[in-house]
Amino acid sequence: MLRWQFDLIWSLFDFHLDQLEVDDFLWEPAGLCWTLHLDDRGVWEPDWADSEPDPIPVPTIGWISWHIGWWWSVAIDHLRERTPRDRTEIVWPGPGPAVADWLRGLREEWLPILDQVTEADLAAPAAFPWQGDSDKSVAHTLAWVNGELMKNVTEIGQLRLLRTARNDK
């Protein structure tokens, strides 16, 4: 069921990934936005706050795509029993087709996890993304990834549609 759900979500995401143009990624739909900026080394740095700001900034497609790369990379690290990367270690490739390639690469890393999970694996305890909540399992993590991806795909799709409808190209 989790694989079926993931495939459904991915088919919606793939549709949007194929439609994205370079200028879509950093388009700012509101005055208060979270986006990405090139630092002095030429590395894309995301806007970030350790506590939720009020009001919450509207993220750009670029920021959301970085965010997907971050949480998904860390989820994969946890489930592969690797040391999870820090948020600052997740480098966004920059606007354009490289983002779609990066996210499709994460999908390729994710599929074996979904395909090889056993009933025993599903019941095993998992700490991510619920640090300190000991009653969560690998099944919870897999379901959370699907839910988080669906939310982020919807956000990207809505932003792309808004930009297209507003003719802000």
Res 45: pLDDT: 97
**What is the rounded CA–CA span in Å between residue 68 and residue 21?**
18
For the whole prediction, is pTM greater than 0.85?
Answer: yes
Q: Is the pLDDT of residue 169 over 60?
A: no
- Name the band, by pLDDT with cuts 50, 70 and 90, for residue 126: confident
Largest Cα–Cα separation, the chain: 51
Res 31: pLDDT: 95
- Name the band, by pLDDT with cuts 50, 70 and 90, for residue 133: low
pLDDT mean over 95-100: 96
Q: Is the pLDDT of residue 132 over 70?
A: no
Q: How far apart, in Å, are the Cα atoms of 86 and each of 41, 69, 91, 95, 167?
A: 19, 12, 11, 22, 37
E strand or H helix at 36, and its extent? strand 36-38
End-to-end Cα, the chain, rounded Å:
39
pLDDT mean over 54-80: 96
Q: Is the pLDDT of residue 29 over 80?
A: yes
According to DSSP, the residues that pair with 58 across neighbouring strands are 33
Mean pLDDT of the chain: 93
Q: Is the pLDDT of residue 129 over 90?
A: no
- Name the band, by pLDDT with cuts 50, 70 and 90, for residue 56: very high
Residue of 150, 169, 124, 104 lying closest to 12 (CA atoms): 150
Res 168: pLDDT: 58
pLDDT mean over 50-60: 95
Percent of the chain past pLDDT 70, that is, above it, reads: 96
Q: Is the pLDDT of residue 40 over 70?
A: yes
Q: Catalogue all structural domains in the chain, each as residue range(s) with its CATH number.
A: 2-16+58-166 (1.20.120)
Q: Is the pLDDT of residue 109 over 70?
A: yes
pLDDT mean over 90-108: 97
